[in-house]
Amino acid sequence: MAGAYDDRDGLIWLDGKMVPWRDANVHILTHGLHYASAVFEGERAYGGKIFKSREHSQRLLDSGNMLDCQIPYTVDEIEAAKDEVMKASGLSDAYVRVLAWRGSGEDMGVASARNPVRMAVAAWEWGAYYGDAKMKGAKLDIAKWRRPDPATIPCKAKASGLYMICTMSKHAAEAKGCSDAMMFDYRGYVAEATGANIFFVKDGEVHTPDPDCFLNGITRQTVIGMLKDRQIKVHERHIMPEELEGFEQCWLTGTAAEVTPVGQIGDYNFEVGALTKDIAEGYEKLVRE
């Protein structure tokens, strides 16, 4: 499948029905479009099976609750919708996007309690998120925007509005010839990339930022489990910017990113070392079990 995302063949699950791809539309006065009252999940299917599917469905519901946007479906109903889309797509390996949002209704100001919460599920082919970076290591810029204080946002929700600074940071990075940008948090600690968590290696041990103000990714949690199974010490902690110079290896994790090596962040360089390769290869095997 190729071309603009609004002009493709196929079917999308929308509010309980399968509709032609080009007809899966919403009204211009949809609340989610104006006020970012939307949450989503990005998932990957391997061999026809979505990896950690139920965990993604539960997180969608949890995210909706954090935004006071209760999604009118259960985990089982969301799972059934995804299964229906996968079968209709005819795809074995696919990216699956589930989106829930406040639709148009009686409210059009900031408040939207009377507007219905809607949901859609789509699936398409999507290769490596960072292209050939999976082989040679991604090049990252350092973003000027920072992950906010959790007192200002529902930082544990996978909410659409929280990605605004990520989009701006990634655009700025791409303009410099980079694949992505690494972000600091509001205190100045290393946080994450614009859509992926980050790991570092030093002296055979792994260091990764404490997700106390950003999303603790499902892939992140999976990789930490893999490292512990390999008896590798994992330090989840606050990481200062000046520590970047001392790290030997680096990688990103995320549903879209999977496990992607990083070769450079700003002026700091990293090798695509043995541990990075082992975790990347191990993850590829795990998702297809």
- 158 flagged as catalytic: yes
The residues near 35 (Cβ < 8 Å, ≥ 6 apart) are: 102, 110, 112
Q: Which of 82, 134, 139, 158 is catalytic?
A: 158
The backbone torsions φ and ψ at residue 155, rounded to the nearest 5 degrees and listed phi first, read -65, -15
Print burial letters for 175-200: b (CB count within 10 Å at least 16), e (below 16).
eeebbbbbbbbeeebbbbbbbbbbbb
Give the C-alpha separation, 254 to 51, whole Å.
12
Q: Which amino acid is at 225?
A: G
Do the beta carbons of residue 40 and residue 99 sit within 8 Å? yes
Strands (DSSP E) along the chain, which ranges?
A: 11-14, 17-20, 38-46, 49-50, 94-102, 117-124, 138-147, 180-185, 190-193, 197-202, 205-209, 234-237, 249-254, 258-265, 268-269
| Cα dihedral sign, 28-33-39-43 | positive
What the block records as the tokens of 80 is 């059934």
DSSP designation for 250: E
Q: What is the dihedral of CA 243, 244, 250, 251, to 10 degrees?
A: 100
| Residues annotated catalytic, as ranges | 158
